[in-house]
Amino acid sequence: MTIGQVQATTRSVFDALGNKVQVPVEPKKVVALSEIDYDSTLALRIAPSATIRGRGQGDIPRYLKPIAKQLDSSMELSIVGDIGRPNLEKIIELQPDLIITSQQRPGVMKQLSLIAPTVVTAKRGESWREIFARIATVLNRESEAGLFLEQYHQRLEDVKTNLKNSKNSTVSIVRWNPKGPAYMFNDSFASLIVRDLKLQRPKVQQQKGYHHSRPLSLEALHQIDADWIFLGTLDGTGDAVDAMQVARNSEPFKQLKASRQNQVIPVDGSLWTSVGGPLAALQVLKDIEQAMLKRSEQPAENLQSASIKK
C-alpha cells in the first residue's frame, strides 16, 4: 500500500489529551471501553464490536440493551472487561481497527495503542455534549451528532414547557448502595440534565463535583430530601436493592417530604448515576417528564389522599 493509499483510508484526529492519532476514515470494528463511549456510538447508529460491563453490572448498561438489539439483532457483542480494567487478550482476538476509551493507566494505554489506534475521548470535567462531539469527530459522524443534539434540544424545550408549573421544584438524585444512599454532586451527569431543565437541587447537593457523596446513615437522610427524589441502584438486584427496600419502609424515610408527598421515583441507577451519554440524556428527560407531568395531572383530592396515606 502506498503512502497516498494509507492517507486515503486514515485521517488525523486529536484526542481529549491533545494527542494526534491516525484513525480509519470509516472504522469497521470499534471497541468502546467506557459507558459514554458505548452510548455515543449507538446514538451515532454504530454497533461496536466490543465494550465493557456497565458500572456495577454483569452486562452492558440496562438502558442500552433495546437500541443495541435494534442496531445489531444478532447481538454479537463481546464483553471485554470492566470500566478501567479492559481484557487485553480478548481485545487482541477481535482485531479492532479503532479503540475509543476513557483515560486508562499509562501501561494499559500503551498496550491498547499497540493493538489498534486508540483515542482517549474524555477528560475530567467535560460534559456529555463535549465528549459526544469528540466521539462523533473520531468516528467521522459529525453531521449525525448535530442532528441528534437538535433532537435533544427540541425535547428539552418541550419538557420545559410541559413542566412550567414545576420550575421551582427541587430535585434530589440518589444512588443507593449496600451501605446506604449517596447523593450525586452538582456536576454529575443527571445533574446537568436537571440544570438544563432549570430545576433546582437541594442546597446540600449543590456542591461542585462529578461524583457522589459518601453513603449516608439513616440519621442523615434529610440530606437527600427534596420535592422530588429520583433514586436507583447500579444493579437491578442484589444487596443495594435489598438495603434500599428496607430503608424505604423505615420511619426516617417515611418522614421525608418527597416520601410524604408520594414523590419518590425509582429510576435506573446505571443510567442516572453513572457516566451517561446522549441516549441516557434523552431517557433522563423522559423519566423526569413522565414523573412530574403525571403527578401534576392528578386531581387535587388524589394528591391529598396520597399524602395522607404516606
Task: Tell whether 15 and 101 lie within a shared domain.
Answer: yes
Q: With 90 as the cut, is the pLDDT of residue 117 above it? A: yes
- The C-alpha atoms of residue 187 and residue 166 are separated, in whole angstroms, by 21
Domain end among 108, 140, 172: 140
Q: Which CATH number belongs to the domain containing residue 263 in this structure?
A: 3.40.50.1980
pLDDT single digits (tens) 73-82? 666 899 999 9
Q: Check: pTM over 0.95? Answer yes or no.
A: no
Where b means 16+ CB within 10 Å and e means fewer, 175-184 reads bbbeebbbbb
Q: Which amino acid is at 163?
A: L
Q: With 80 as the cut, is the pLDDT of residue 302 above it? A: no
Task: Tell whether 202 and 123 lie within a shared domain.
Answer: no
Q: State the residue range of the domain holding 226.
A: 163-309
pLDDT single digits (tens) 157-174? 999 999 998 888 999 999
**pLDDT score recorded for residue 240:** 83
Task: Tell whether 94 and 216 lie within a shared domain.
Answer: no
**pLDDT score recorded for residue 74:** 66
Task: Tell whether 197 and 243 lie within a shared domain.
Answer: yes
pLDDT single digits (tens) 172-203? 999 998 889 999 999 999 999 999 999 999 99
**pLDDT score recorded for residue 295:** 64
The structural domain count of the chain equals 2
Q: What percent of the chain has pLDDT over 90?
A: 71
- The C-alpha atoms of residue 106 and residue 111 are separated, in whole angstroms, by 9
**pLDDT score recorded for residue 296:** 53
Residue 155 belongs to some domain of the structure = no
Task: Tell whether 100 and 206 lie within a shared domain.
Answer: no
Residue 113 belongs to some domain of the structure = yes
* Section 26-33 average pLDDT: 96
